Amino acid sequence: AFDGRGAGLATEVFGDLARADRVAVLVPGSDTGLDTYGRFRAAALALHRQLVAEAPAGTRTAVVAWLGYETPGTVSTTVATTDRADRAAPELRDLVADLRRITGPGTHLALLCHSYGSVVCARAADGLDVADIALVGSPGTGADTAAGLHSEARIWAGRGADDWVEHVPHVSADLFGTTVGFGTDPVSPAFGARVFDAGDGGHSDYFDPGSRSLTNLARIALGETTEVTHA
């Protein structure tokens, strides 16, 4: 799918989606548009290669790179609010419903949500038919706890040791009818997610080939939860 208007939207599939046993949906964060799509596509390709390498014999995999919403700019007022995520959440829910129609109920679906994309996933999570949701380099979700996402999915969170998002204030306040900030740090014990080892990388390094974060994200996407290493 492709829409060239504005910053642009695109959805691309890697692998045989109709026959896949394991499907990972990659949801990007701020500053992702058609002009930076190469970076996002490279992350999706690296993830798909890792899934193919790690999948048990006979397991078929696919990755959906979903640039299905207008992402905020990293240096902008919109990046500090849930507004873009609130608009994007219904589109993500529609995507998951479409994937279920294509793949069937037995396919393992996982959302891997980077940066502001984790806010989008959180806003869509209530009752969403996915097995796992991974919050990667997340500034917060807008919820106080993982239970507050009202999801039956396993909720994971990981942050690289050199990720600047660690220094984002984890507060949330209503200002003039708009929620500013995203609340509890997803990797903190107070949030209650399953915290995985995301290695030593920075904010843009989670899908680097050979990284601990990519290995663990692939294991989450494959449903091999006992193989995930924890922080």
Structural domain includes residue 228: no
Cβ 147 vs Cβ 124: under 8 Å = no
pLDDT for residue 104: 86
Residue type, 193: A
Structural domain includes residue 45: yes
For 70, the domain range is 2-223
pTM: 0.94
Cβ 111 vs Cβ 18: under 8 Å = no
If you compute the radius of gyration of the chain from its CA atoms, what whole number of angstroms results?
A: 16
The residue assigned the tokens 């896949």 is 20
The string of pLDDT tens digits covering residues 173-196 is 565 556 666 889 999 999 999 999
Q: How far apart are the first and last CA of the chain?
A: 37
Q: How many domains does the chain have?
A: 1
Structural domain includes residue 230: no
Structural domain includes residue 134: yes
pLDDT for residue 218: 98
pLDDT classification of 171: cutoffs 50, 70, 90: low
pLDDT for residue 12: 98
Structural domain includes residue 231: no
Cβ 142 vs Cβ 176: under 8 Å = no
- The domain spanning residue 66 has which CATH number? 3.40.50.1820
pLDDT for residue 187: 97
Measured CA to CA in angstroms, residue 205 lies from 64, 101, 136, 143, 208 at distances of: 19, 33, 10, 25, 5
The string of pLDDT tens digits covering residues 68-119 is 999 998 767 677 788 899 999 999 999 999 999 999 889 999 999 999 999 9
Apex CA 80: angle with CA 77 and CA 82, to 5°?
110
Structural domain includes residue 182: yes
Structural domain includes residue 229: no
Structural domain includes residue 188: yes
